[in-house]
């Protein structure tokens, strides 16, 4: 892999602890595979609790100097990090595609998207203003200060190996926190390359730690540590709930970006071309392996058949293959388990009456993009994240029926709808139970907007001004007796 990079120094294969690149104490490693071929592309240290505790100790030691640096200085380092990431886009995208599988063009777009969080927080980090509050007596002054939370921990998933990391690291560092990251076992190399660039940008030793290894051991050490004041986790709702429980004894601040079950409502008055494009964007990005992927496409009866025909044509034309091949739009799913899960969900839907209307050519390690109609709420794919390239269509009659179907889930991350009626746009936008709602668009993730969910999709927000706020504590200073 290293030979394919212009900057071979980006191929880091060790963990980052206290500014040093280290192996696991026991010398053991974890192999990382290319999901398109099953070939091992490299190995990373199989660290556990001891290495994590050392990274936390280094972060604690580095905290006083880092938080004392003026915000513009910290943000200048972030600005350099952003520039270095953008300059290394091609190499980073090659690493990302090799370990995650998504098409190179999508990997490049993810690197740019990842950098956009660094750029955003390099600016936003200089605006953590406090305020003075009018006091009830003449001899008192009340000041409200924003202070860094302290030592933080982050755990990230494999589906967006760069963006899920910068979305946490950039606001943490901008706020004056230090942070220890555990990337997903299947995609550690993008994380380590980002760490290398952070060091080159001037992030001091210990301020950022990256520990690869056993999830339960590393996560256990992070949650057990009283030094860690905040845990930011992106991943499944089940693991999020477990980490919340583990964090309870030390009362950590929690930021949880969890699973979703996003609906896309297509109303009779939608612009058909626009609705099909929104569905393709929100369904097939990253082969459907996204927390904000459209899991249920709810189509009103009057536009149903025309929409299905148009989307079916798009699905049949999707090009599936290894992410490194030119023109490929859908890469492999992350592993055998993911492929089996999608196949089971499709079989379950067909057993319960769904029709497979269209399918793109695909074989071997690649799951074919599919279009299913006749979906109903008792099917598994209605209740769980498909996390694959399967567009599942439900038919509804009235706006009220559509809304009831859309909200009939314990999740509340993203929701989308297509209409050209302004009155409906307001009504539905307000009624959808989700942290993010897209009207006539399948793209809702931008660095300047708050990203996150309600219900069982999580706590807190990433991006926007809210994303910085997660890493800040509020202190009220009461002054009296000075005059
Ligand atoms: P996952 O199994 O929950 O894993 C996510 C991360 O948690 C990985 O780093 C994983 O480590 C780690 N982990 C697993 N078990 C752990 C434990 N017991 N203690 C500590 N850490 C543990 O989720 P996934 O399958 O990788 O990712 C897909 C899920 O993430 C989906 O549900 C998706 O919706 C959600 N997601 C949400 C957002 C959002 O912003 N809301 C964004 C992207 C993805 P290993 O890799 O080492 O197992």
- Contact between 191 and 132 under an 8 Å Cβ cutoff? The reply is no
162 C-alpha to ligand 1 centroid (Å): 14
- Per-residue b/e over 343-366, b at no fewer than 16 CB within 10 Å? eebbebbeeeebeebbbbebeebb
pLDDT at 164: 98
275 C-alpha to ligand 1 centroid (Å): 30
Q: Which two tokens stand for residue 449?
A: 């907007």
**Around 57, how many Cα atoms within 13 Å sit in the side-chain half-sphere?**
6
Question: pLDDT digit of tens for each residue in the chain (483 aa)?
Answer: 899 999 999 999 999 999 999 999 999 999 999 999 999 999 999 999 999 999 999 999 999 999 999 999 999 999 999 999 999 999 999 999 999 999 999 999 999 999 999 999 999 999 999 999 999 999 999 999 999 999 999 999 999 999 999 999 999 999 999 999 999 999 999 999 999 999 999 999 999 999 999 999 999 999 999 999 999 999 999 999 999 999 999 999 999 999 999 999 999 999 999 999 999 999 999 999 999 999 999 999 999 999 999 999 999 999 999 999 999 999 999 999 999 999 999 999 999 999 999 999 999 999 999 999 999 999 999 999 999 999 999 999 999 999 999 999 999 999 999 999 999 999 999 999 999 999 999 999 999 999 999 999 999 999 999 999 999 999 999 999 987
Cross-strand bridge partners of residue 30: 44
User: What is d(CA 7, CA 197) in angstroms, rounded to the nearest whole number?
Assistant: 11
- Contact between 417 and 437 under an 8 Å Cβ cutoff? The reply is yes
Q: Which two tokens stand for residue 292?
A: 């904000």
CA dihedral sign of residues 149, 151, 153, 154: positive
Atom in ligand 1 nearest the alpha carbon of residue 155: 9
**Around 442, how many Cα atoms within 13 Å sit in the side-chain half-sphere?**
24
Q: Which two tokens stand for residue 315?
A: 């699905």
**Around 141, how many Cα atoms within 13 Å sit in the side-chain half-sphere?**
8
Residues marked active site are found at 257, 291
Which residue's CA is the closest to the ligand 1 atom numbered 26? 157
User: What is d(CA 286, CA 340) in angstroms, rounded to the nearest whole number?
Assistant: 17
Give the closest residue to 187 by CA, choosing from 315, 101, 75, 282: 101
**CA distances, 442 to each of 1, 262, 274, 282, 418 (Å):** 34, 11, 10, 4, 10
233 C-alpha to ligand 1 centroid (Å): 8
- Contact between 394 and 295 under an 8 Å Cβ cutoff? The reply is no
Give the closest residue to 45 by CA, choosing from 55, 60, 57: 55
52 C-alpha to ligand 1 centroid (Å): 18
Virtual torsion, Cα 375, 340, 29, 182, nearest 10 deg: 10
pLDDT at 31: 98
Cross-strand bridge partners of residue 376: none
User: What is d(CA 342, CA 47) in angstroms, rounded to the nearest whole number?
Assistant: 31
Atom in ligand 1 nearest the alpha carbon of residue 186: 46
Atom in ligand 1 nearest the alpha carbon of residue 260: 34
User: What is d(CA 173, CA 83) in angstroms, rounded to the nearest whole number?
Assistant: 16
The helix/strand/coil state of 218 is: helix
User: What is d(CA 435, CA 202) in angstroms, rounded to the nearest whole number?
Assistant: 35
Which residue's CA is the closest to the ligand 1 atom numbered 35? 235
- Contact between 165 and 74 under an 8 Å Cβ cutoff? The reply is no
Instruction: Name, in order, each residue with C-beta under 8 angstroms of 317's C-beta and a sequence gap of 6 or more.
Output: 360
149 C-alpha to ligand 1 centroid (Å): 23
Which residue's CA is the closest to the ligand 1 atom numbered 22? 215
**CA distances, 172 to each of 218, 224, 332, 456 (Å):** 20, 20, 33, 24
Give the closest residue to 149 by CA, choosing from 176, 130, 125: 176
Question: Which of 45, 220, 236 to mutate for ligand 1's pocket (most ligand atoms within 8 Å of CB)?
Answer: 236
Which residue's CA is the closest to the ligand 1 atom numbered 40? 257
What's the first-to-final CA gap in the chain, in angstroms?
Answer: 69
pLDDT at 482: 82
User: What is d(CA 409, CA 10) in angstroms, rounded to the nearest whole number?
Assistant: 42
Which residue's CA is the closest to the ligand 1 atom numbered 41? 257
- Contact between 472 and 128 under an 8 Å Cβ cutoff? The reply is yes
The H or E element spanning position 94 is: helix 89-100
* Spacing of C-alpha 220 from chain mean position: 21
User: What is d(CA 144, CA 75) in angstroms, rounded to the nearest whole number?
Assistant: 22
DSSP 462: B
Q: Which two tokens stand for residue 312?
A: 């079916």
| Ligand 1 pocket by Cβ (under 6 Å) | 155-160, 164, 182, 184-186, 215-216, 219, 234-236, 239, 242-243, 257-260, 291, 385, 413, 453, 458
Full-model pTM: 0.97
User: What is d(CA 275, CA 302) in angstroms, rounded to the nearest whole number?
Assistant: 14
457 C-alpha to ligand 1 centroid (Å): 13
Q: Which two tokens stand for residue 318?
A: 């999707």
Question: Which of 49, 100, 117, 157 to mutate for ligand 1's pocket (most ligand atoms within 8 Å of CB)?
Answer: 157
**CA distances, 89 to each of 29, 92, 161, 194, 395 (Å):** 27, 5, 14, 11, 42
């Amino acid at each position: 892999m290293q030979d394919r990079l212009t900057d071979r120094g980006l191929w880091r294969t060790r963990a980052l602890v206290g500014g040093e690149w280290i192996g696991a104490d026991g010398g053991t490693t974890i192999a990382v595979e290319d999901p398109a071929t099953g070939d091992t592309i490299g190995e990373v240290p199989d660290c556990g609790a001891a290495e994590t505790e050392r990274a936390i100790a280094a972060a604690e030691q580095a905290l006083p100097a880092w938080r004392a640096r003026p915000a513009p200085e910290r943000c200048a380092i972030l600005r350099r990090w952003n520039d270095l990431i953008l300059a290394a886009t091609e190499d980073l995208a090659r690493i990302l595609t090799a370990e995650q599988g998504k098409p190179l063009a999508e990997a490049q777009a993810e690197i740019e998207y990842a950098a956009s969080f660094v750029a955003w927080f390099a600016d936003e980090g200089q605006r953590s203003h406090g305020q003075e509050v009018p006091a009830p007596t003449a001899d008192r002054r009340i000041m409200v200060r924003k202070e860094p939370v302290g030592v933080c921990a982050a755990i990230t998933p494999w589906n967006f190996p760069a963006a899920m990391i910068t979305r946490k690291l950039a606001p943490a560092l901008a706020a004056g926190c230090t942070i220890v990251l555990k990337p997903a076992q299947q995609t550690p190399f993008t994380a380590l390359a980002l760490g290398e660039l952070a060091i080159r940008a001037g992030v001091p030793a210990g301020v950022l730690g990256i520990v690869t290894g056993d999830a339960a051991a590393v996560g256990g050490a992070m949650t057990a540590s009283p030094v860690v004041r905040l845990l930011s986790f992106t991943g499944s709702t089940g693991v999020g709930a477990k980490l919340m429980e583990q964090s309870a004894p030390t009362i950590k601040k929690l930021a949880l970006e969890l699973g979703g079950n996003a609906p896309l409502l297509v109303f009779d008055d939608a612009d058909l071309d626009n609705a099909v494009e929104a569905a393709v964007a929100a369904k097939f990005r990253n082969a459907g392996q996204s927390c904000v992927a459209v899991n249920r496409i709810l189509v009103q009866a009057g536009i149903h058949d025309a929409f299905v025909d148009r989307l079916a044509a798009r699905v049949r034309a999707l090009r599936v293959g290894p992410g490194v091949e030119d023109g490929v739009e859908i890469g492999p799913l992350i592993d055998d388990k993911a492929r089996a899960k999608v196949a089971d969900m499709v079989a379950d839907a067909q057993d319960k009456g769904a029709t497979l209307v269209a399918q793109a050519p695909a074989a071997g390690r690649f799951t074919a993009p599919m279009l299913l109609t006749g979906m109903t709420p008792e099917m598994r794919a209605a209740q769980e994240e498909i996390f694959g390239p399967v567009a599942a269509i439900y038919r509804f009659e009235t706006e009220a029926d559509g809304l009831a179907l859309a909200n009939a889930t314990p999740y509340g991350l993203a929701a989308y709808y297509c209409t050209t009626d302004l009155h409906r746009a307001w009504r539905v936008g307000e009624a959808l139970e989700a942290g993010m709602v897209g009207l006539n668009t399948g793209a809702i993730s931008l660095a300047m907007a708050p990203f996150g969910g309600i219900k069982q999709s999580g706590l807190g927000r990433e991006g926007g001004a809210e994303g910085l706020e997660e890493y800040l504590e509020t202190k009220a200073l009461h002054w009296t007796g000075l005059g």
